[in-house]
Amino acid sequence: MTTNSTGSADRAQEPSDQEFTVRRATAEDIPGLVAMLADDALGARRETPSDLDPYRAAFDRIDADANQHLVVAELRGTMAGTLHLTIIPGLSRRGAVRSLIEAVRIHADFRGSGLGTRLIEWAVAESRRQGCALVQLTSDATRVDAHRFYERLGFQASHLGFKMPLD
Amino acid sequence: MTTNSTGSADRAQEPSDQEFTVRRATAEDIPGLVAMLADDALGARRETPSDLDPYRAAFDRIDADANQHLVVAELRGTMAGTLHLTIIPGLSRRGAVRSLIEAVRIHADFRGSGLGTRLIEWAVAESRRQGCALVQLTSDATRVDAHRFYERLGFQASHLGFKMPLD
């Protein structure tokens, strides 16, 4: 078990349950969450950490919706990751409820620590707890490391993900 | 403009606005919707049109959620297609709202009629009306014709879609 977070050897170990927690995000988390979203090859072009107003408005809408679970992963009390889990009822697959994972980020200080695995495992367990028959996500075609990561966790790249930005 | 729906030559034409409508699904639509979901190479293995109970329970949950838009496309008053549009608030991309299209089906009698194009165009327009910055969907890797269809409509296959069924 690790006792500090400064050494790369320590970071290579899996965090223990005592050190790792997932909690619902609060409005106070917004600056830290946006910083993580922006600290990413794709996110850097999409996010504006210097202007948090649109994020605050979005947070209020997310927080008011019982099907949205924007969460913060903490390692030894420090914000270390985030994801957004959406619960989606549906008619297909015999009325299956599915969940969608979006906006997965691990703080740069904690990458390679096993935290991403723990966080996705949390999302899968939470989806199961909420009665979902399926968990799904899309990953940009350029994120080859992420694809291997999700496949190791038991996801299958069975689909193509299509997107269309609107003006 | 077509005046009947029986000839294949007529079906190859685009339906006019007067003939094509999209409306919110009602509980009375469930048998027809499930029949369409099941009448599909993949859906045939997943759906149970002979047991509608799970679909009725799912419908009630969908219908009670303001972010879920399960719709019926009608051509000259006949159920001809369906899709399920989900509106998802989010923090990433400067607090962008996105929409997710799922469970797209066109009734066998109306395939090749241009109805699919109209229905997806409706979903994109509705997403825009609801303030979405992005529309997304996934399509099974085996549905090669569907991929070309979505690309023609302006979607980009920029992502891989990962799924994990839960027990």
Residue B164 within any structural domain of the chain: no
Q: Range of A123's domain?
A: 14-152
Chain A residues within 8 A of B39 when measuring between CB atoms: none
In residues, how long is chain B?
A: 167
> Is B3 domain-assigned?
no
Q: What is the pLDDT of residue A9?
A: 42
Establish if B157 belongs to a structural domain: no
List of residues 6+ apart from B78 with CB closer than 8 A: B5
Q: Nearest residue on chain B to A87, judged by CA atoms? A: B88
CB contact under 8 A, B91 and A61: no
Q: Domain for residue A53, yes or no?
A: yes
**Residue A66 touches partner B, C-beta closer than 8 Å:** no
Q: Say yes or no for a CB contact (<8 Å) between B154 and A164.
A: yes
For residue A29, give the chain B residue with the closest CA: B91
Strands B20-24 and A156-165: unpaired
Give B100-155 pLDDT, tens digit per residue: 999 999 999 999 889 999 999 999 999 999 999 999 999 999 999 999 999 999 99
Please list every residue in chain A whose beta carbon sits closer than 8 Å to the beta carbon of residue B68. Answer: 88-89
Which one of A55, A83, A92 would you mutate to disrupt binding with B, by most B Cβ within 10 Å of its Cβ? A92
In a domain, A2, yes or no: no
What is the domain count for chain B?
1
Q: What percent of chain B has pLDDT over 70?
A: 90
Distances in Å between the Cα of B36 and the Cα atoms of B8, B43, B63, B139 are 20, 9, 19, 17
Cβ of A68 and B89 within 8 Å? yes
- In this prediction, residue B84 carries a pLDDT of 98
Q: Does a structural domain hold residue B147?
A: yes
* SS3 assignment for A104-149: EEECHHHCCCCHHHHHHHHHHHHHHHCCEEEEEEEEECCCHHHHHH
Mean pLDDT of A89-107: 97
Query: Choosing among A130, A148, A163, A167, which should be mutated to test the B contact, i.e. which has the most B CBs within 10 A?
Result: A163
Task: Note whether B147 contacts A160, CB cutoff 8 Å.
Answer: yes
Instruction: Confirm or reject contact between B129 and chain A (CB < 8 A).
Output: no
A145 domain-assigned: yes
User: pLDDT per residue over A129-166, tens digit each?
Assistant: 999 999 999 999 999 999 999 999 999 999 999 999 99
| DSSP codes of every residue in B49-112 | TT--HHHHHHHHHHHT-TTEEEEEEEETTEEEEEEEEEEE--SHHHH--EEEEEEEEE-GGGTT
Query: What chain A residue is nearest to B51 in terms of C-alpha separation?
Result: A94
Q: Does B7 reside within a domain? A: no
User: pTM for this one?
Assistant: 0.89
* A96 Ramachandran zone, left/alpha/beta (phi>0; psi -120 to 50): beta
**ipTM score assigned to the predicted complex:** 0.89
- What is the β-pairing status of strands A132-140 and A97-106? parallel
Residue B39: pLDDT band with limits 50, 70, 90: very high
CATH of the domain at B144: 3.40.630.30
- pLDDT for A35-45, tens place per residue? 999 998 888 89
**Minimal C-alpha gap between A77 and chain B (Å):** 22
